[in-house]
Structure formats: structure tokens, C-alpha cells
Homo-oligomer: A and B are copies of this chain.
């Protein structure tokens, strides 16, 4: 199910659109202002953002820039009719479509589906706390800035990603990454890599929030 973020401060629009989009099979979240929108974008991964240009706490352009600089979630602008300036600026900031109020919800849905089709779903990004991993690009980032992970660090991260919630024993991890049967790698190598990875992805590596140690059993990522 596609997740849509609706950034809009007109309550009646929120209510109507939310309902309509939900009925159309989308999962919708609302943000009533710029600040809240940026917060949510940092926390969750959306498939598409509907962005009102004129927000009470500032126009939507800042939000659009923020989105486009970090993720490349598609953005559709909602603007007051006749506001040509918005159209221009919106597209220049990388908006993917634009629809002017008042619009028929039905048309909006069509535009949403269309944009999702054109931008190719882009469902390769996974989130781990504030860390974003793009398995197609082979990159990981935190708060928008790239994490420079070595090949093994990256592979280790992927193993955790594919086994969220599960406790992985040292042996499992060793096998998953140093898979050459019979070949032995010093068990501590893993420990060292856990440390390195934590240093790069954790806010406070001494108190890891992402990769937790389960003493006697192994490690797990539970987010």
C-alpha cells in the first residue's frame, strides 16, 4: 500500500481528501504545517507527498526542497488557482506535478497514480531509525548526509535489515558475511565490524539504539 503525506492546513480539505484517498487504497498521513511535515519526512518514508503551497507557517517550497534534497519522493503541489508563480517555482524545485484548487478528487487520484507510475514506484529505500538505506544505489545516509560504509559494513547492515527484529547469533552473521565454507575468520572480526558500523550509523555508538547486543545470543535490530 502506497503511503501518502498530505501537507495542508485547511481542515476541510484534510478531512475530505484523507477519506477519499483512503477509500482509493492509499495510506494517508497529515501534516498541518511546514514544521510537522519536515518532522514526519524525517521519521517515515513516503511514496508521495501532496503539498499545499500556501501554508500558515511558510510556503511549501522549503518542504519541497527538503524532500528533493534527501529522498527523491515524488511531490505534487496543490495551489490556489491562477497562482502562476507557484507553478513555475514548484516545477523548478523539482515538483513532479501540480494541481490547482479547486480540483476534483478523482483527478487528483489519477495524477497520483500517474506520477507513481512515471517515477517507477521507487521502493528500494528502507529505513532504520534515522538511517536510510538504498539497496539499488548501494548507499546509506543519515539526516541527509551520506554515510561512507565499506563493502563489509554495508553487507552487515543489509543482513540486519533483512532480519529485522530477529536475534542473529555471531555464527549466523559470520556465515552470512564470510560465507566461504570451512574458512575461518577470527570471531572478533565480527565484533570489530559491529563497532565500526555502530560508529557510523548510531547517534551515540556507546549506547546503540539500532544494533543492540543480546548478551550470550548475538545482536539484533529491532525498530
Instruction: Give chain A's interface residues, CB within 8 Å of chain B.
Output: 84, 87-88, 91, 95-98, 104, 106-107, 110-111, 113-115, 118-119, 136-138, 150-152, 154, 165-167, 214-218, 220, 222
Contact = CB atoms under 8 A, between A and B. Distances in A.
A87 to B, nearest CB: 5
A216 B136 contact: no
Contact of A222 (B111, B137, B166, B216): B137
A193 to B, nearest CB: 13
Contacts of A87: 106-107, 110
A113 B104 CA distance: 24
Please report whether the interface of chain A is mostly helix, strand, loop or mixed according to DSSP: mixed
Of A84, A96, A110, most buried by chain B (CB within 10 Å of CB) is A110
A84 B96 contact: no
Contacts of A98: 110-111
A115 B138 CA distance: 27
Contacts of A215: 150-151
Given A150-B215, A150-B216, A110 B91 contact: yes
